[in-house]
Amino acid sequence: MSETTTSPLAQHIGARLGDKIIAVHEWRGETLIDVLPENWLAVAAILRDQPEFRFEQLIDLCGVDFLGYGQDEWNTEDVSSNGFSRGVEGLGPGRFRWLDRPRPGHVERRFAVVAQLLSLANNQRVRLRAFCHDDSLPLMPSLVGIWPGVNWFEREAFDLYGIVFEGHPDLRRLLTDYGFVGHPFRKDFPLIGNVEVRYDPEKGRVVYEPVSIEPRVLVPRVIRHDARYATAREEAAGRGEAEK
């Protein structure tokens, strides 16, 4: 276990959990515990049951897709003298097949599960995170046996990210349609979707068809109101008046 902070809570967690965790981080007063999936349940049980922690409430759980982490579509280097800038078109995830991406990714592990824990007794919060070993089939043990209220949170993460929670009593889609294909919060999921739905009056039923929307980049043109430009205009106008 590597410790990257000296806060009292982080030190206490590091000393108590030892090799069961990878690292403890603290940033802006928030404590994050990185755990291997095989220690996910053991660490969660200790954080809930031990009197010095007593994180009896799981307030949220979500999936995270780190694909394209640190990359964006905005061009922040070339800005004209008039204060205009444009985004770099078509370089963001969701606009192409990720295997054909124009820029290589540098993500060791793609999918993670993050749980937000609250201790009412000690008035403390902590964030628990684990990265799935397999990007093609992300697996994580279910926390339903420790915090039963996490049931729908795990179903949501499964629906939107495709993360499979082993041991979940009823792992079904929660937000998307029964016939939905794919997982819409994955960063390589097309922004326009895969299929579109319409009612066919001749067939008398709803039909699914390949999406007909052309992919496009909706990057606005931004006008920056910068005092430097106003000063330059005033100085130029002053020089012009002086020359007259």
Residue 144 in this model has a pLDDT that exceeds 90:
yes
Long-range Cβ contacts of 210-217 (<8 Å, 24+ apart):
215/95, 215/190, 215/191, 217/73, 217/87, 217/89, 217/90, 217/92, 217/95
pLDDT band at 153 (very low <50, low <70, confident <90, very high): very high
DSSP class of 141: E
DSSP 22-78: SEEEEETTEEEEEE-GGGHHHHHHHHHHSTTT---EEEEEEEEE-TTTT--SB--S-
Task: Provide the pLDDT for residue 75.
Answer: 57
* Neighbour-count burial of 6, counting CB atoms closer than 10 A to its CB (0-12 exposed, 13-18 middle, 19+ buried): exposed
Q: How confident is the model over 174-214, as pLDDT tens digits?
A: 999 877 888 999 988 877 777 888 899 999 998 888 888 77
pLDDT digits over 80-136, tens only? 554 444 445 555 656 666 566 655 566 688 999 999 999 999 999 999 999 999 999
Which is more confidently placed, 12 or 126? 126
- Which pLDDT band holds residue 140 (cuts at 50, 70, 90)? very high
Q: What is the pLDDT of residues 178-188, one digit of tens each?
A: 778 889 999 88
The residue-averaged pLDDT of 148-168 equals: 97
Which pLDDT does position 3 carry in this prediction?
A: 47
Indicate if the pLDDT at residue 152 is higher than 50.
Answer: yes
Task: Report residue 34's pLDDT band, with 50, 70 and 90 as the boundaries.
Answer: very high
Averaged pLDDT score across all residues of the chain: 82
Top-confidence residue, 16 or 78: 16
pLDDT: which is higher, 5 or 205: 205
Cross-strand bridge partners of residue 60: 116
- In angstroms, rounded to a whole number, what is the distance separating the alpha carbons of residues 65 and 134? 13
Question: According to the model, what pLDDT value does residue 220 have?
Answer: 52
Q: Which two three-digit tokens encode residue 124?
A: 């403390």
Domains of the chain (ranges, CATH numbers): 1-67+107-175 (3.30.460.80)
What's the rounded mean pLDDT across residues 2-11? 68
